[in-house]
Structure 1
Amino acid sequence: MSNSSILRIQKELNDIEKSPENQYFLWYDDSNIKHVHALITGPTQTPYALGMFDFVFNIGDNYPQAPPKVTAMTTSNSRVRFNPNIYSTGKVCLSILGTWEAKESGEKWSAAHGILSVLVSIQSLLSEFPYRNEPDHEEEKDEKILDDYNAKLQHETIRVSVCDRLEEALGWKNDNIKVDGTTSISRPFCTCRSTSPFLDVTKRMFLMYKQIYSETAQREMTTKREGTAFVLARFEFGNNSAQGTFQYTALTKRLDKIQEALLKEPEEWMTLSKDWIANETTSASNLRSQFDQIQASHEYDSCLLMELRNDNPFAWDLTAMGLPMTQHDGGMFNIEMRFHDDFPTVQPRIRFTTEMFHPHISPDGIPYYRVERAENIREYLDMLVNLFKRDPSGDPTTHLNMRATKMWFGSKEDRRDYNRNARRCAQRSTDY
């Protein structure tokens, strides 16, 4: 591969990573940037909503004259076809990739396209009615056909892309464990590694979106009888399909168990931190240094109080002060920020321990955040401050409390209800 091609790939990857507002996460080894892992978040208002889907890009020496080869990795070991264009084998059918016939010349790959173009195209497949991605069914209007297909994809999104993924990350699944009646078969994730490289980000995403996953499961339980078999689509056959039964009761229990385990992880970190401090690890020194610098700058004095719990640089205790003349006026909101020794590869776990009513904070106290420079703690602090200073974003992927979201973006009366709930939290916060 020419130097110009390598430089172009590096620039493309850097540009994508510097855009925290998108829902793409990348991982690659600097020694081989032609092999790229991507995590794509399922768009809201679709059956894939907030699912976590892995893809691998293999970029040839003739890039950008030719497209990369892309393989879908989230297939439950080749047992689930998540889309008419995303096979259980991992094949991704897209004209831009040359794996599907282009109807127009503009749909074909050109050197003007890039990695981001492919990511956007793949995410566009994860649509509101994916059944219509199948050729000759683009105009399908039969609501039962559309709904039956969506229903099983929504179930499998939670089961495979969320529960299976997190259970494996927690070390709960092996060859002898059966989940929903099927044996979990351990296979190498990729030629470059045995597991997905997005362990930390998917844990954090789960904690942010868990309430939404659970609400979806609870809602679907009222209409999908337990054990009812999925309806096969006309284009599904053999293993290249999504077969199974609705098991939302089991999924709800699995979601709760995963959340319980993940919420305990910071406590385990604090136990381990005694050794990290004693060994004077790089992270211990880095975190203490950043804390001291931030305290000396006094830049957050008007909005955030902070201290190290028991002088532990891995345990930051914060108190956010509600701004005057806002619905949070007079509030004192306690926040825990816990660090791992692998920081910044493992980003901090942040949780409000004081009740906070806000679209960007889950009912369990987990705030939405995504930073550009994971090593800079000021970016996390700025995120917390902006929860009080700025109006909530309209981006649905940032909405973690759906009740607060509906009130904020609803009618004038809804907004008044939102303000009343937020003020009530501020008033109660001083009792903690």
Structure 2
Amino acid sequence: MSNQAILRIGREISQIQHGTDLSLAVACKEADIRNIKALIVGPPETPYEFGFFEFAIKFPEDYPGSPPHVHGTTTNGGRCRFNPNIYATGKVCLTWRGESGEQWSSAQGLESVLISIQSLMSSNPYENEPGFENAKSDHDRRNMAHYVAKIRHETLRISVIQRLEDFLGIQSDGSVFPPTPPGFLQDDDDEEEDRLTGDDDRPSFEPFRDLLKRRFLWYYESYINAVNAAEPEASPSQQFKRMPFESVGNTMDGRFHYPDLRRRLIFIKETIMNETEGWAAEGMKALAKESRIAVNLQRQHEQVVEDLKNKKNFMIDLGLEKGNPFVWDMTYFGRPMTQLDGGIFQIRICLSPNFPEEQPRVIVKTPLFHNRISKDGILCYFPKKPEEMKSHVEAIIEALEEETPPYDPRTTVHPEASKLFWGTAEDKKKYNRLLRRSVQRSIE
């Protein structure tokens, strides 16, 4: 592969990693830029909503003359076909929208590949099957409805629940084993690193582990809402209906069992929150040993406090819980002339001993009806420099104060608040009333 092609691949990876599209993520090993791991978050208002779908992408030697090779890895060990064009084997059938029709153009790139895959994840994926335009009978419409229903179920079960249980070490009997730390598994053999591990089709390089945990906390209420909405439509153990285009070895077979999905979602959330609390204890041990990360976070805290003092920023009081640099306690006084004016908010910033590989989890302890805060207080925010705690503090305040953020359904951490915030003029007035009411309660 030419140096020019390698530089182009590097630029395309960086463009996605530093972009604002929350539905796409990519990563690769430094020693092998031709092999990319990609994550697509399922589009809202589709049966794939907030699912985590992963793909292995390999660039050919003559790239961009030829398109990358794409292999789906979210297939439940080769047992689940998630789309007429995404096979259980991992094969992905794409058409390229080039200048001369449906063919690859060297003007396209990694992002266009991912967007093309994402476009397959529509509200009615049945439409991707050839001959769909002739499917107009009542029988066809029932097939479409059932196909959507089973995709929604398996999106939750396979792409969300199984994935998070794997990362958290949750066993089928409900016990929790300590999971492998973030990053690479301990294996020096390149061929072995690429080997599929366990009984699933997930490679040992897991760059999205922390991202999925944080996103799970964002979307938890949406997952529960999806279960509650779909449960009345399918009796427990009701068998999936096989579609006409599904063949032996390339199907989505199974049974509906929403009560079990709800139970597992609840346990995953509890496990993530327990892990978050465990960081504090791990942090105290690291502090006692004067480890590099403990010293670094202590220094960063001192620098942020000094910076706030120099800027005469009296809206933020920043301390450490019991002197622990892995737990930052923030008190935020609502900025005058904003919707938060007069409020006093307690915020807990929990940091991992693996920071910045594992990003902080921020919990707003003071109940606040806000489109960026879940009902359980999980804050959705975006630091410009994830490795710097100063950037995190700034991003937290920005998320709280921003009154006209651009619409992005993938920031839906509080479905009710988001629906009102981006709804009609009357909806927005109701949102503001509920927000102000919660602000007033913060000082009672």
Compare 102-111 and 306-315 and name the one that shifted more: 102-111
- Superposed displacement of residue 188, structure 1: 6.4
- Superposed displacement of residue 311, structure 1: 1.7
Three-state SS of the structure 2 residue aligned to 1:316 is strand
Match of 1:111 among 101, 106, 109: 106
Structure 1: distance between partners of 2:98 and 2:321? 62
Q: Could you give the per-residue CA deviations for residues 179-211 of structure 1, whole angstroms, max 9, x where no partner exists?
A: xxxxxx923645xx4263311110111011001
Q: TM-score, normalised by structure 1?
A: 0.91
Query: What corresponds to 1:424 in structure 2?
Result: 437
Q: Which amino acid counterpart does residue 69 of structure 2 have in structure 1?
A: K
Query: What corresponds to 1:258 in structure 2?
Result: 268
Structure 2: distance between partners of 1:20 and 1:370? 10
Q: TM-score, normalised by structure 2?
A: 0.89
Query: What corresponds to 2:230 in structure 1?
Result: 220
Structure 2: distance between partners of 1:247 and 1:28? 36
Compare 63-72 and 281-290 and name the one that shifted more: 281-290
Q: Could you give the per-residue CA deviations for residues 197-231 of structure 1, whole angstroms, max 9, x where no partner exists?
A: 31111011101100110011011112222221112
Structure 1: distance between partners of 2:304 and 2:102? 50
Q: Does 1:211 align with 2:206?
A: no
Three-state SS of the structure 2 residue aligned to 1:110 is coil
Query: What corresponds to 1:231 in structure 2?
Result: 241
Structure 2: distance between partners of 1:395 and 1:176? 35
Query: What corresponds to 1:180 in structure 2?
Result: none
Q: Could you give the per-residue CA deviations for residues 328-383 of structure 1, whole angstroms, max 9, x where no partner exists?
A: 22111111111112111110111111111111211111122344432022332222
Q: Which amino acid counterpart does residue 163 of structure 1 have in structure 2?
A: I
Mapping 1:350-429, distance limit 5 Å: 350-386=362-398, 387-429=400-442
CA contact (8 A) 2:77 2:200 kept: no
**Unpaired segments of 5 or more residues in structure 1?**
97-101, 178-184
Match of 2:294 among 276, 284, 287: 284
Q: Does 1:166 align with 2:161?
A: no
- Superposed displacement of residue 415, structure 1: 2.4
Structure 1: distance between partners of 2:101 and 2:329? 54
> Relative to 1, partners in 2 of residues 1:370 and 1:160: Cα closer, same or farther, differing over 3 Å?
farther
Match of 1:202 among 212, 234, 241: 212
CA contact (8 A) 2:53 2:74 kept: yes
Structure 1: distance between partners of 2:116 and 2:430? 40
> Relative to 1, partners in 2 of residues 1:322 and 1:37: Cα closer, same or farther, differing over 3 Å?
same
Three-state SS of the structure 2 residue aligned to 1:201 is helix
Structure 1: distance between partners of 2:134 and 2:383? 40
Q: Which amino acid counterpart does residue 394 of structure 1 have in structure 2?
A: Y
Query: What corresponds to 1:182 in structure 2?
Result: none
Q: Could you give the per-residue CA deviations for residues 114-170 of structure 1, whole angstroms, max 9, x where no partner exists?
A: 111101111111111111011111464453222111111001000001110111111
Match of 1:134 among 129, 146, 163: 129
Number of equivalent positions: 417
- Superposed displacement of residue 302, structure 1: 4.1
Q: Which amino acid counterpart does residue 204 of structure 1 have in structure 2?
A: R
CA contact (8 A) 1:189 1:196 kept: no
Structure 1: distance between partners of 2:148 and 2:99? 28
> Relative to 1, partners in 2 of residues 1:149 and 1:170: Cα closer, same or farther, differing over 3 Å?
same
Match of 1:297 among 294, 298, 307: 307
Query: What corresponds to 2:343 in structure 1?
Result: 331
Structure 1: distance between partners of 2:253 and 2:99? 34
Structure 1: distance between partners of 2:313 and 2:348? 17
Q: Does 1:123 align with 2:122?
A: no
Query: What corresponds to 1:248 in structure 2?
Result: 258
Query: What corresponds to 1:148 in structure 2?
Result: 146
Structure 1: distance between partners of 2:353 and 2:377? 23
Structure 2: distance between partners of 1:364 and 1:129? 32
Query: What corresponds to 1:343 in structure 2?
Result: 355
Q: Which amino acid counterpart does residue 117 of structure 2 have in structure 1?
A: I
CA contact (8 A) 2:22 2:410 kept: no
Of all paired residues, the percent bearing the same amino acid is 39
Structure 2: distance between partners of 1:188 and 1:156? 15
- Superposed displacement of residue 416, structure 1: 2.5
Structure 2: distance between partners of 1:92 and 1:194? 22
